Amino acid sequence: MTDQASAPKARTAAVPGVRPRSWRRTLQRVWNDKIVLLAMLYLVLIVVAALASFVLPLESARTPAIDQRLLSPSLSHPLGTDGLGRDVLARTLVGSRISLLVGVAVVVIAGVFGTIMGVIAGYFGGMWDTVIMRIVEIQLAFPNLLLMVAVIYFFSANIGVLIATLSVVSWMIFARVVRTTVMAVRSSLYVRAAHFAGCSRFSIIRHHLLPAVAPILLTQAMLEFAAIILAESSLSFLGLGVQPPDASWGLMIAESRPYLEVAWWTVFFPGLAIVTTVLAANLVGSAFRVWLDPRQDDDPRARAEAATQNDAAH
């Protein structure tokens, strides 16, 4: 990449601690850190697998076969079969669709809404800020799982309700990080310069605030994606999420739990799918967080340096 390509981004670097490291350097570090690279490749693989499950012939995921119940892993059934004789591998693949769909949908809905709220709170400040942050604070005191149990119980569980409920309880995190960043960038020189040069508020938000927020938003989206997948699987496990005959990883474990002692593979493999996906998303998310914010760096000197830079800036 040339200097020209990164020139518009260099403007935002005026606020240390907010956006001090470029995308290019981040990508370089992804390449250097093989574990994170692996995690990213794995996530891509999972998405490809979920998409492939639409075209692959996976009838064995749905049709029960009584004569093939609880077969242990073999060549014809690589991950064995479950209590109804359905292929565990095929069901895990089909289950990835709903788990990923819920994860992505909630992150997008909560992320967009949270970003809008965060920008309003951080940029306009005053009463807007007070009201929005109070709502955020109150919502953070919600017993989320209990509340979701009560709500889903009344609406009867389906994917739409699941996505809506999870979005309602997770937008606050986005609002918070966006607000903090926007407040830091708002008072910086280049934003004030843009203001005095006559840029409209919308234009400032569009061209200066959102680019500054993007990396932190991406990080948060990754971590939240991991959290949502876990939440969806827990709710499905409790019987309040995805309903049979659909397949989701959490539901598969709930259905197979009675066979745990005789057929470990029916519980182990769907769980492994959850752990690896969540772990990969968490790894990528926390790696991004460290790389974009040197205050989170492991090297104490880098952290101390970032801290002093930050103090000096204000």
Partner 1 sequence: MFVSTSGETVVKSELGPTGSAPTPGVVRSRTPRTRGWVDLATVRWILGRLVFGLAAVLIVMSAVFLVTRSTSDPARRMLPLGSSQEQIDALNARLGLDDPLWMQYGQFLSDFFRLDFGRSIWEGRPALDVVIDRLPVTFALVGLALIISIVIFVPLGVVASLRPGSLTDRLVTALSLAGLSAPQFWLGAMLVLVFAVQLGWFPTSGSGSLLYAVLPAVTLAFTIGGRLAQVTRTSFLDQAGSPYVTMARAKGFSTFYILRKHVLRNALLPILTIASWDTARAITGNAVVVEVVFAWPGFGRLIIESVQRQDFPVIQACVFVGAVLIVVINTITDVLNRLIEPRMES
C-beta of 115 vs 233, nearer to partner 1 = 233
Smallest separation, CB 49 to partner 1 (Å): 19
To partner 1, the closest distance from the beta carbon of 178 in angstroms equals 14
| Identity at 25, one-letter amino acid code | R
Q: Smallest distance, Å, CB 173 to partner 1?
A: 13
Tell me the C-alpha distance between 176 and 179, whole Å: 5
Whichever of 60 and 278 has its CB closer to partner 1, that residue is 278
For partner 1, the closer CB: 60 or 224: 224
The residues near 253 (Cβ < 8 Å, ≥ 6 apart) are 233, 237, 267, 270, 271
What residues does 109 pair with on adjacent strands? none
Amino acid sitting at position 261: E
Q: C-alpha dihedral over 66, 70, 72, 73, to 10 degrees? A: 70
Looking at beta carbons only, is 59 or 311 nearer to partner 1?
311
Chain-centroid distance, C-alpha 309: 30
Structure tokens at 136: 């955020």
Q: State the minimum distance, in angstroms, from the CB of residue 222 to partner 1.
A: 13
Place of tokens 């095929």: 90
Minimum CB–partner distance for residue 82 and partner 1 (Å): 14
Nearer to partner 1, 60 or 170 (CB): 170
Joined together, the tokens standing for residue 204 give 């400032």
Closer to partner 1 by CB, 26 or 282: give it.
282
Binding site for partner 1 (CB under 8 A): 137-138, 141-147, 149-151, 153-155, 180, 183-184, 187, 226, 230, 233-234, 237-240, 250, 253-254, 257, 260-261, 264, 267-268, 270-271, 274-275, 278-279, 282-283, 286, 296, 298-301, 303-304, 307, 311, 314
Whether residue 245 is preceded by a cis peptide bond, meaning omega within 30 degrees of 0, is yes
Q: How far is the CB of 212 from partner 1 (least distance, A)?
A: 14
Within the chain, what is the greatest distance between any pair of CA atoms? Answer: 77
